[in-house]
Structure 1
Amino acid sequence: MEYLFDTVNISDIRKYMDIYPITGITSNPSIIFQHGKIDFFTHFREIRDLIGLKRTMHIQVVSQDTDGILKDAETILEQIDDQVYIKIPVTEQGLKAIRILKQKKINVTGTAIYTKVQALTALESGADYVALYYNRMENMDIDPCDVISTTAKMIQSYNYATKILGASFKNIGQVIKAFESGAHAVTVLPSVLHAALSLPDIQRAVDDFRSDWSSIYGNASISDLNH
C-alpha cells in the first residue's frame, strides 16, 4: 500500500510527512485553487526539496489538446525536475499524449478517471499510475469499487506495471474500501488521516492506560524506572 498527500500546502506536508508513511505528493489545478495562487515552479521545487527524490511528485497539465499537454509536460520537467509524474486527464487527446510521453520514458499518471474504459485504455497506453476518482464516482452513481476491482483484475491478468491510485476521498471509510477493492495507492488530504486517528475513543483508551499506570507508579514513566 502507498499513501500520498493530495495537497500543495507546504506547512501540512512538513507537519505530517514525519507522522504518516507517505510515498509522494499529488496535486491538480483545483487543489492549487483551494490553496491560493502560488509561484508555481518555485513552490513545487520547494516541495521536492522537502520530500526528496525517493517520494513521487505528481503535477497535472492544464492544456487539453495533445500538443499543449506535451508542452506543459516539457516545461514541468525542465523547470522542476525530470522525475515528476505528469498527470494527464484520460481523454482522447490525453491518451495520445500519454503514449508519446511513455515512448520517451517519462513518468505519467492518468487522471480524472471515472469509468472502466478510461482506466483500461490508460493501462494499455502505458500510464504508471491511474487515478480513479472514488467520491466523484459515487456522486455520479458509479460504483467505484467495481471500477477499481475490474482495473485491478486486468492489471493482474495481463501483468501491467501500472498502479491504481485511488483519489477524491471525503473520509477514511472510502479509503479503506478502495484498498479492499484492489487499489495499490491512495492520495488523501492530510486532514482525512488526521481525523481518522483523532477519534475520541482512541484518546480515551490512551488516557485510561495512563490512569491505570499512574495509580501504581504515579507520574513516573517507564524510562524513569531505570534510574
Structure 2
Amino acid sequence: MKFFIDTANLQDIAEAASLGILDGVTTNPSLMFKEKISGEKAVLEHYKRICDLTDGDVSAEVISTDLEGMKREASELIKIADNIVVKIPMIREGVKALAWATSQGIRTNCTLVFSAGQAILAAKAGATYVSPFIGRIDDIGWDGMSLISDIAEIYAIQGYETEILAASVRSGKHIVDAAKAGADVVTCPLSSFESLFKHPLTDIGLEKFLADHAMGSGK
C-alpha cells in the first residue's frame, strides 16, 4: 500500500519524504487555505513547490463545478509538473470531466466518494484514483472500512484498474484497517503516520536495552 500525505504544508511533506516512506501528496482548497495560500497564481506556485519535494503523484484539485471550467483548470494544472494528478469531484459534470481527462491522457483522482456506486462511475470514466472518505463516513454512523472492502471486491471482480485511495484517514488504526480492507493508497496527515511508530513495548524494550548497554560498558 502506498502512503500519500494529505497536506499543503511544505515542512510536513519534507519530513514525510525524509522518512523514506512517502509515495505522494494530496491537497485540497481547504488545506491551501490553512496554509494561507490564496489566488490562482499563488496556488499554482505552491503546487510547484510541493512537486519539487516528491517524485510521487501530487493531487491538485479543480475549483470549477462545470465541465468546461474543469477542463480549463485541468489543462493548466498539468503544466506544473509531470507528477500532477488532477483531483475532480464526484458530481455529474465531474464524471464527464474524468472521461474527458482520460481521453486526453490526463491522470485523475476522483474525490468526495461516499458509495460503491460512485466508485463504479469513477472507474468507468477512467479515474486513476478514487478517494472514498473514510472518516466522514464514520462521522455519520456508517462504516467507512466496509466501503473500502466493497469497492476493492467490485474492482477485483470487474477488473477495474482504478486505484483505491483511502482518504479522510485520521489515525494509525485507520491506516492498518484500510490496508486490510484492500486500499491501494492511504492519505493522511503526518501525525497519523507518526502514530504507527508508537507502541509501549517498544519504548520499554529500548529503555531496557540501553540500560543494559550502559551497565555493560561501565557507564
TM-score (norm: length of structure 2): 0.93
Q: Is the 8 A contact 1:171 1:192 kept in 2?
A: yes
Is 2:70 the partner of 1:72? no
The CA RMSD measured in Å over matched residues stands at: 1.6
Identity of aligned residues (%): 27
**What is the aligned partner in structure 1 of residue 45 from structure 2?**
42
**What is the aligned partner in structure 1 of residue 166 from structure 2?**
166
Quote the offset at 1:68 in angstroms. 1.0
> If you compute each CA radius of gyration, which structure gives the higher value, 1 or 2?
1
Q: Which amino acid aligns with 1:51?
A: T
Q: Is the 8 A contact 2:62 2:88 kept in 1?
A: yes
**What is the aligned partner in structure 2 of residue 224 from structure 1?**
none
Moved more, 124-133 or 204-213: 204-213
Quote the offset at 1:198 in angstroms. 4.1
Q: Deviations over 1:82-109 (max 9, x none)?
A: 4311011111110010001001111011
Q: Which amino acid aligns with 2:59?
A: H
Quote the offset at 1:199 in angstroms. 4.8
Q: Is the 8 A contact 1:83 1:107 kept in 2?
A: no
1:81-120 correspondence runs (5 A): 81-120=81-120
Q: Deviations over 1:152-175 (max 9, x none)?
A: 112111211111000101211112
Is 2:191 the partner of 1:191? yes
Gaps of 5+ in 1: 220-227
Q: Is the 8 A contact 2:51 2:83 kept in 1?
A: no
Aligned structure 1 segments of 4 or more residues deviating by more than 6 angstroms: none
| Whole-angstrom CA distance in 1 between matches of 2:70 and 2:199 | 43
What is the aligned length? 216
Q: Which amino acid aligns with 2:195?
A: A
Q: Which amino acid aligns with 1:127?
A: A
| Whole-angstrom CA distance in 1 between matches of 2:138 and 2:30 | 19
| Whole-angstrom CA distance in 1 between matches of 2:20 and 2:170 | 18
Aligned match of 2:54 in 51, 55, 63?
A: 51
**What is the aligned partner in structure 2 of residue 149 from structure 1?**
149
Q: Which amino acid aligns with 1:48?
A: C
Moved more, 32-41 or 127-136: 32-41
| Whole-angstrom CA distance in 1 between matches of 2:12 and 2:144 | 28
Quote the offset at 1:218 in angstroms. 4.0
TM-score (norm: length of structure 1): 0.89
